[in-house]
A and B are shown apart, each in its own frame.
Chain A
């Protein structure tokens, strides 16, 4: 088994991981960025359309204070004010740095930076690059910067992380599997940054890329980290339901649209009479799921989105999305589209401080894998902002901690189970058992039924039970083909991370006996008077979930 040494190991190469890598490498530490897919092309960042910002382009009336208040308001009491303040305070500097490194913001017809409105923000503050392919533009800017730091910064594509390694309760590296060479390696690092993105693939319909299987939450749990508010899964309200090949594709212009149920009624008038469709994602998802749940949806379990009154605006503000719809036979000029909620983002995640440090020494977390900033509902276009600001902070903090540590610790890793499964010596290796792909599908259907937009006590209990059953299936699962880059070996490893993350979500959801933010339990539809966080940890193969009072309530 190969042993690789670095100072800072970064797992994941979306905006969060690459931002961290650039700031860590600038400090002179040796940085290694790994990704289970192609570096810089495998996370949710790729699909991000706009970024919320403050800058020279901000409209009159916008300020750090206003931005902070919007995040707090949207977070339903769960947003960490320390993190929200940092975000509002540092976003300008981070975007200006990206501009200095070559990012060009899109401009309007007056050649001024175009500023867009986004539902939930009290003032227009979203900007874009590369005509709405903002995520791609940011990734390319970071990759270019990373290349200029190549003496300190290495990247490694197509290597998937199996477990974090710990020694004396400190994270000291990772056990990884190289998909190309089909072999295990150990990476020793003084600090590790998890930037593995989200978990949309735990659900059957998701806007997320195929890699979003919740690996980071599972890795953090395995290393002893505390996960906060994991029940807070955001469903993107308006995503295409049909055709199947684009199911989950997000419609960013839903605040321009009119939503109708199958009876032709514009139902948002019943739920949010003042704002109608221009409301926050949690409210919209719940309204749409309720309409479908009460039998007022289409055969595909969808509602109708109509933009025929404003197609020109849609076409000019969101050209990629418009083209995509037309390409797949959804002609928005004359037809309504069938839409519904898709798993989109998890506000919960590994608990961090303002520098991205987790509760486990040596382990930092940033981007979607970290929890706390967004509380119970993430505002649109705040995901990239989070990645820029907290990626930079985690990178800097991890690098300075690494610089202070002389020797790496060499953990005694128990890799026997993985070795057995992945090197072909396993006694259970054979053709029997459920395929890794089918196990993934089972997890998705359990989460959809028990832990989707509308939850219930009974549904959550059933989900917990079914996930235990899937655990058994996993133990007896068919061993994967070990040919280079076989899809099956990827699914085999990811399905293990998916189950652990799914269990954490279900545990957290069972412990929130109220409906707050993105978590709606029909058996507890109201709010409890004193807000609290749910905190999940994993010890001796058992999940422990506690309620934690908010800061200031203790």
Chain B
């Protein structure tokens, strides 16, 4: 198992960096769960069905909106997997938007 560098834009003034144990079959959601388990138990993220239907896990993934349960975890051009909440609407905290 290798590692992936993850950057989470948590709000306007805080960005967190994580070095996460990684294998190529991991989705973005798998990587966030790994962060929750081993790095930051207070991280806020939303998901439900894990199969691309409910769309509650949508977030910005390397600058583009995507479903974290469907997108495979891959670094962007800068070498980081960059995650951020969707730009529209109120962010409750971290990656969670108000519904």
**B-binding residues in A (CB < 8 A):** 37-39, 41-43, 46-47, 133, 135-136, 157-158, 180, 209-211, 243-246, 248-249, 320, 324, 327-329, 435, 437, 480-481, 483-488
B83 to chain A, nearest CB (A): 14
The closest CB in chain B to the CB of A43 belongs to B48
| A residues in contact with B55, CB < 8 Å | 41
Chain B at the A interface: SS class: loop
**Within the assembled complex, what's the spacing in Å between the Cα atoms of A32 and B84?**
32
Kindly list 4 other residue pairs between chains A and B, CB separation below 8 angstroms, not including A41-B56, A133-B53: A46-B49, A210-B50, A324-B51, A488-B36
- 5 closest A-B pairs (Cβ-Cβ)? A481-B42, A485-B44, A38-B99, A486-B42, A488-B41
The answer to whether A37 touches B93 (Cβ under 8 A) is: no
The answer to whether A209 touches B44 (Cβ under 8 A) is: no
Max chain A C-beta neighbours (<10 A), residue from B30, B36, B46: B46
**Within the assembled complex, what's the spacing in Å between the Cα atoms of A46 and B42?**
27
Q: What per-residue 1/0 map shows which CB atoms of B68-87 lie under 8 Å from chain A?
A: 01100000000000000000
Contact of B14 with A by CB under 8 A: no
Beyond A42-B48, A327-B70, whether A485 also contacts B56 by CB under 8 A is: no
Give 17 A-B contacts (CB < 8 Å), ordered by A residue.
A47-B51, A135-B53, A209-B48, A210-B50, A211-B48, A245-B69, A435-B41, A481-B41, A484-B44, A484-B92, A485-B92, A485-B93, A485-B94, A486-B41, A487-B41, A487-B45, A488-B42
The answer to whether B48 touches A38 (Cβ under 8 A) is: yes
**A-binding residues in B (CB < 8 A):** 25-27, 29-30, 36-37, 41-56, 69-70, 92-94, 96, 98-99
**Within the assembled complex, what's the spacing in Å between the Cα atoms of A211 and B54?**
12
Max chain B C-beta neighbours (<10 A), residue from A43, A244, A484, A486: A486
B34 to chain A, nearest CB (A): 11
**Within the assembled complex, what's the spacing in Å between the Cα atoms of A232 and B96?**
36
The answer to whether A487 touches B36 (Cβ under 8 A) is: yes
**Within the assembled complex, what's the spacing in Å between the Cα atoms of A286 and B93?**
44
The answer to whether A244 touches B30 (Cβ under 8 A) is: yes
Max chain B C-beta neighbours (<10 A), residue from A136, A246, A328, A435: A246
**Within the assembled complex, what's the spacing in Å between the Cα atoms of A246 and B53?**
13
| A residues in contact with B50, CB < 8 Å | 209-210, 245-246, 248-249
The answer to whether B99 touches A487 (Cβ under 8 A) is: no
**Within the assembled complex, what's the spacing in Å between the Cα atoms of A38 and B53?**
13
The answer to whether B46 touches A249 (Cβ under 8 A) is: no
Which residue in A46, A245, A486 is a CB contact (below 8 Å) of B26?
A245
Which residue in B25, B30, B36, B98 is a CB contact (below 8 Å) of A180?
B98
| A residues in contact with B26, CB < 8 Å | 245
Beyond A42-B48, A46-B49, A209-B49, whether A37 also contacts B56 by CB under 8 A is: yes
The closest CB in chain B to the CB of A487 belongs to B36
| B residues in contact with A480, CB < 8 Å | 41
The answer to whether A244 touches B25 (Cβ under 8 A) is: yes
Which residue in B45, B52, B56, B94 is a CB contact (below 8 Å) of A38?
B56
A173 to chain B, nearest CB (A): 24
The answer to whether B53 touches A437 (Cβ under 8 A) is: no
Which residue in B30, B42, B70 is a CB contact (below 8 Å) of A483?
B42
